[in-house]
Structure 1
């Protein structure tokens, strides 16, 4: 008896996922990639019947028998009727906000995400971005556009304070990368639990207490009902006028219009933004011309070479558990959205 697996890939299109031709190549799970990764899991070989599809070309016919779905997104209407045998959905992204609210998810179906796959790359990006802020690179780039040659100096970063808002795999990796430089790292998470790389952690309710301490703020939270609008104008006003901000989480967490106002008036030191809604950014967006702001096109955590192999490695580790009837890694709580 084999397990029917439906792999739903998306063709690139503006305003959806992936939103660039380059992204389609990075995120597509081809049969060749599937079989190559499967070769590393001999205990799973011979037990799967994969069907690799594009968009919803063969959705209804394949999902009528599928037990497992590997995807970014899917049609959710009447899912229990469309896929009566479905038991497990694995999302190839860490964020699942595009699936909210999850009232469509049948009680007997487990949803897992890609948490952990992005950690190494996100940590390196976080380290790079914090050091760029410390070295005034956003301001230097702004000066370059205006042909202004000002010497903006900095000392070693040791002794500065980094607040990490969201200490999951992305933020936690960033904290662990920055800490060895002698930076005081404060983590902020829902429970206040300790995280490796953080000198201390506080709950989200204590965010107002630690924002005034931050020389740098690394935002790495998912988009959930609890995090949406968390960094509003009032909280941005709590920060030092010299502070720098990095966002590798989701745009919905922060008020970008208020952020641009503060950068233009000089009441923030600089910002590096990697996440936007929608993506790509509209040509008329004020973000493009805001001073002391660097835009990176959602590349902080995605490995162009290894993303699919890492994703499939996690998927097949979970498949080993699935075949044994054991709990899966990275289960999503439908009520919390992560």
Structure 2
């Protein structure tokens, strides 16, 4: 017998709050999941139009009442304590970011609830940002900008980038997209990941345990790892000392994966030539942080992978595709392993 019962989906958006996400008013509209955006997205999934009952909410305004009957939760953050009691019908949670460290440790996840993330939404934008950043470092843009600020003229020449070595630490969707773009320029690309499995367009893959061996080979390093127990302070002071003098560094993953105090010291000494950093803790970066004035360090306001036009439409596509799988009793895509935290 066909059931007319609809699947209740709670979409929780956040107002801008410097202690939460998004931290700025500019991000509030980018990441808002509204009825208008949902209605537009579901037109591409006509089979789901009469199968979903969406609820749109801000912060915790109606969260507890709505979660009494919600089967699916789509959000960035939420109260995890006593989730089984608060949301007895909950079956899966879609986190609208790739990283879920803000919800770790994930010992709160009920046995019958699946957690998925936004893996893949960031790839196109992040790949372009990675390519741009590597080229900016190679053509001395951080130094040139600093020279302009001090009215200093100095011809800083650069050669074609072909043959230079890029080390990508964290070869998930974001890191792999950047690696593929840079490989098109004729760069030698090394990838480091937990598993170290071979990937197309990457010349050499190593495990995280082999990182010390490849750090001295890199002309440029692209960090795109989540913050987990395995990656916390991964590029610490010791590992930064192993890097080739004059190396350039990019971090689009998480601030906690790199020792920024050591980075500042290495930029001041010239051991690291320049850096482009897109992730900080806290965010926004406080006005009195020494990172603002460190020579040849470019501060990016966490914009490397978030597309202001398509982020939520792409997110809703992931939700809809998983909704089809859920209805068909198939495994969900982008499952997060609570033990690993990604």
Verify: 1:116 aligned to 2:110, yes or no: no
How big is the shift at 1:200? 1.3
Residue 152 (structure 2) aligns with: 148
Shift of 1:127: 0.1
TM-score (norm 2): 0.98
Give 1:197 deviation, angstroms.
2.2
Distance 2:11 2:184 in 1: 41
Identify which of 237, 240, 246 aligns with 2:250: 246
Which residue is 2:293 aligned to? 289
Unaligned runs of 5+ in 2: none
CA distance in 2, matches of 1:194, 1:36: 39
2:89 is matched with 85
Query: In structure 2, how many angstroms separate the alpha carbons of the residues matched to 1:115 and 1:196?
Result: 19
Distance apart, 1:196 and its partner CA: 2.6
Q: Distance in 1 between matches of 2:285 and 2:59?
A: 24
Q: For 1:208, which of 212, 232, 243 is the aligned residue?
A: 212
Q: Residue 6 of structure 1 contacts residue 53 of structure 1 at CA under 8 Å; is this kept in 2?
A: yes
Query: Do the aligned residues in 2 keep the contact of 1:172 with 1:196 (CA within 8 Å)?
Result: no
Task: Using the TM superposition, give the Cα deviation of residue 300 of structure 1 relative to its aligned residue in structure 2, in angstroms.
Answer: 0.3
Aligned to 2:80: 76
Instruction: Give yes or no for contact 1:167–1:195 (8 Å, CA) kept in 2.
Output: no
User: How much has 1:147 moved relative to structure 2?
Assistant: 1.7
SS at match of 2:242: coil
Paired position in structure 1 for 2:180: 176
What count of residue pairs does the alignment treat as equivalent? 338
Secondary structure at the aligned position of 1:302 is classed as coil
**TM-score normalised by the chain length of structure 1:** 0.99
- 1:337 partner SS: coil
Of 154, 162, 165, the match for 1:161: 165
Q: Residue by residue, what CA displacement relative to the aligned partner does 1:81-130 show, whole Å, maximum 9, x if unpaired? A: 00000000000101111000001110110000000000000000000000
How far residue 140 of structure 1 moved from its aligned partner, in angstroms, is: 1.3
The C-alpha deviation readout for 1:313-337, integer Å capped at 9, x for no partner, is 1110111001111000000000000
Aligned to 1:307: 311
Give 1:7's match in structure 2, choosing from 8, 11, 34: 11
Aligned to 1:318: 322
* 2:184 match: secondary structure: helix
In structure 2, the residue matched to 1:55 is: 59
What do you get for the CA RMSD once the two structures are aligned? 0.7
Q: Which residue of 237, 240, 258 maps to 1:236?
A: 240
Distance 2:200 2:258 in 1: 25
Deviation at 1:195, TM superposition (A): 2.1
**Stretches of 4+ moved more than 4 A in 1?**
none
Distance in 2, Cα, partners of 1:139 & 1:233? 23
Report the CA distance between 1:53 and its aligned residue: 0.4
Displacement of 1:15 in angstroms is 2.3
**TM-fit CA distance, 1:77:** 0.8
Instruction: Report if aligned partners of 1:194, 1:201 keep a CA contact under 8 Å in 2.
Output: yes
Counterpart in the other structure of 1:39: 43
Residue of structure 1 in register with 2:194 after alignment: 190
Choose the corresponding residue for 1:332, options 336, 339, 342: 336
**For the residues of structure 2 that align with 1:306 and 1:234, how far apart are their CA atoms?**
40
Deviation by residue 1:210-234 (Cα, 9 ceiling, x = unmatched)? 0000000000001111101000000
| Unmatched tracts of structure 1, length 5 or more | none
Deviation at 1:240, TM superposition (A): 1.2
Q: Select between 38-47 and 138-147 the one with higher mean Cα deviation.
A: 138-147
Q: C-alpha separation between the residues in 2 aligned to 1:203 and 1:36?
A: 42
